[in-house]
Amino acid sequence: MKSIDLHAHTTKSDGTLTPAELVRLAEESGLAAVAVTDHDTVGGLAEAGAEGKKLGVEVVPGIEVSTGWQHTEIHLLGYLFDPAAPELTPAIEWVINDRRERNEKMAALMRADGIPVTAEEMYRRYPESTVGRPHFAVKLMECGLASSVKDAFARYLAPGQKYYVRRNHIPFDRAVEILRDSGGKTVLAHPFQYRFDDGRLRELLDYCRNVGVAGMECLYSGYTPEQEKYLEALAGDYGFLVTGGSDFHGGHKPEIKLGTGTGGLRVPYELLEELKK
Ligand code: AMP
Ligand code: ZN
Ligand code: FE
Ligand code: FE
């Protein structure tokens, strides 16, 4: 049985492996396919695709878009779209610009507390990356203010903490439309991350179905077999394809392994075949 991973980040967003290194790890881990799903960028797809051809690993073009739905940040995965589609570029530029403004505000808040940091420094350090809170988290660690990325989020960067600055998000339905117009399929990412109760989750799923989302990420790092079954049943109710992935970030989330997540994850190749139909 061939296994795959349909959710992974690289240095092009907030992962620690380059796109080529990620594909090499997929090969070493015995995965038949890996999707590169960086936050709000397609910058790693060409490099990953070229490495995949070399190593015989199928690389699925992907993206994870941070969208807004009813004042909540919802992550939408896009797959199998054309990265060069004309609809995609302006949308990504809008997000990068919004992030730029936010990164400058976050850096200014930190400087006001005497932390020597600028957004420009982050762009120099992480060229071509989608710079965001995880990169500032590393800086806070280096300044001795946090013991890990997670700790930096808990103390300073999570909503409600002193350096948190809100981002603007593309409306969920607009992101679905853009990815569909670019020839892709869309999937609701990690449905439990939003901490919705059953009623509100169903409200979101109704909405997803209405706007044409194709699938739901039912298999995910840390989800129990019971949780996966619950999501698979929901996917059946709503007519969604089932997908899965680890949300691998390399050293930024060392407890999550590519392909197997926190240990129990296994995503069969057949799910990718369904997605391609
Ligand atoms: P940003 O897109 O800049 O708002 O950063 C969001 C990213 O930070 C998420 O996609 C996660 O990868 C990471 N993140 C969010 N919350 C935490 C947390 N509590 N601990 C570690 N990483 C987090
Ligand atoms: Zn991330
Ligand atoms: Fe996510
Ligand atoms: Fe992710």
From the centroid of its chain, how far is CA 165? 19
Across the range 97-124, mean pLDDT stands at: 97
Rg of the chain in Å (alpha carbons):
18
Give yes or no for residue 153 CB within 6 A of ligand 1.
yes
Phi, psi of 142 (to 5 degrees): -60, -30
Q: Whose CA is nearest to atom 8 of ligand 1?
A: 134
Kindly indicate the confidence band of residue 6, based on its pLDDT and cuts at 50, 70 and 90. Answer: very high
pLDDT attached to residue 27: 98
Q: How far apart are the CA of 270 and the centre of ligand 3, in A?
A: 23
pLDDT bucket at 128, cuts 50 / 70 / 90 = confident
The closest-lying atom of ligand 1 relative to the alpha carbon of residue 154 is: 19
Please return the burial class of 60, using the count of CB atoms within 10 Å of its CB with bins 0-12, 13-18 and 19+: buried
124: Cβ contacts below 8 Å, ≥ 6 apart? none
Please provide the average confidence, as pLDDT, over all residues in the chain: 96
Rounded mean pLDDT, 167-176: 96
Of 134, 128, 135, 133, the C-alpha closest to 43 is: 128
Find the ligand nearest to 130 CA.
1
- Chain segment 203-255, per-residue pLDDT in tens: 999 999 999 999 999 999 999 999 999 999 999 999 999 999 999 999 989 99
CB 28 within 8 A of CB 268: no
3 state DSSP class of 61? strand
* pLDDT score recorded for residue 55: 98
Judged by its nearest atom, the ligand closest to the C-alpha of residue 13 is 2
Q: Whose CA is nearest to atom 14 of ligand 1?
A: 134
- What are the pLDDT digits (tens) for 38-87? 999 999 999 999 999 999 999 999 999 999 999 999 999 999 999 999 99
pLDDT of residue 140: 98
Model confidence band, residue 127 (pLDDT cutoffs 50, 70, 90): confident
146, 137 Cβ separation under 8 angstroms: yes
The confidence score (pLDDT) of residue 64 equals: 98
Angstrom distance (rounded) from CA 246 to CA 95: 24
Residue closest by Cα to atom 21 of ligand 1: 150
Separation CA 137–CA 52 (nearest Å): 31
Q: Is 149 in the pocket of ligand 1 (CB under 6 A)?
A: yes
Burial class (CB in 10 A: 0-12, 13-18, 19+), 28: exposed
CA 248 to ligand 1 centroid distance, Å: 12
Predicted confidence at residue 252, as pLDDT, reads 84
CA atoms of 133 and 40, how far apart (whole Å):
14
Q: Is the CB of 96 under 6 A from ligand 1?
A: no
The share of the chain scoring above pLDDT 70, in percent, equals 100
Q: How far is the CA of 72 from the centre of ligand 2 (A)?
A: 17
The protein residue whose alpha carbon is closest to atom 9 in ligand 1 is 134
Find the mean pLDDT for residues 15-25: 97
Q: Among all ligands shown, which has an atom nearest to the Cα of 10?
A: 2
Going by CA atoms, what residue is nearest to atom 13 of ligand 1?
A: 134
Q: Is 133's C-beta closer than 6 angstroms to any atom of ligand 1?
A: yes
Q: In the chain, what's the furthest Cα-to-Cα distance?
A: 55
Quick one: how far is CA 54 from the chain centroid? 25
Say what the pLDDT of residue 181 is: 97
Phi, psi (rounded to 5 degrees) for 187: -140, 135
What pLDDT, on a 0 to 100 scale, did the predictor assign at position 217? 98
Which ligand does the CA of 102 lie closest to? 1
